[in-house]
Amino acid sequence: MDTDSDICRVCRSEGTLDKPLYHPCVCTGSIKFIHQECLVQWLKHSRKEYCELCKHRFAFTPSKSQCICRC
């Protein structure tokens, strides 16, 4: 997986430690990831709990590229 190309499907920005990317549905490819803030704004705007593309209910799951192991 090329984590350098993971970007938010709404704002098109990469994830950061402060604003990690999530994959809240089962979409794949360039529309897989989104920032939590971007999704919250979209949910307020659309008033939907499900992805319009894959029909999966949104859930916050951190992207593997943003997981940090602390020993």
Q: Give the chain as a DSSP string.
A: --GGG-B-TTT-PBP-SSS-EE--SS--GGGS-EEHHHHHHHHHHH--SB-TTT-PBP---B-GGG-----
User: Structure tokens of 60?
Assistant: 């916050």
Number of structural domains (the chain) is 1
Domain that holds residue 59: 3-66
Q: What is the mean pLDDT of the chain?
A: 82
Write down the pLDDT at residue 30: 86
Residue 20 domain-assigned (yes or no): yes
The encoded tokens of residue 68 equal 């940090």
The answer to whether residue 60 is domain-embedded is yes
For 24-58, the pLDDT digits (tens) are 999 999 899 999 999 999 999 999 889 999 999 98
61: Cβ contacts below 8 Å, ≥ 6 apart: 22, 23, 24
Determine the pLDDT at residue 68.
43
CATH number of the domain to which 24 belongs: 3.30.40.10
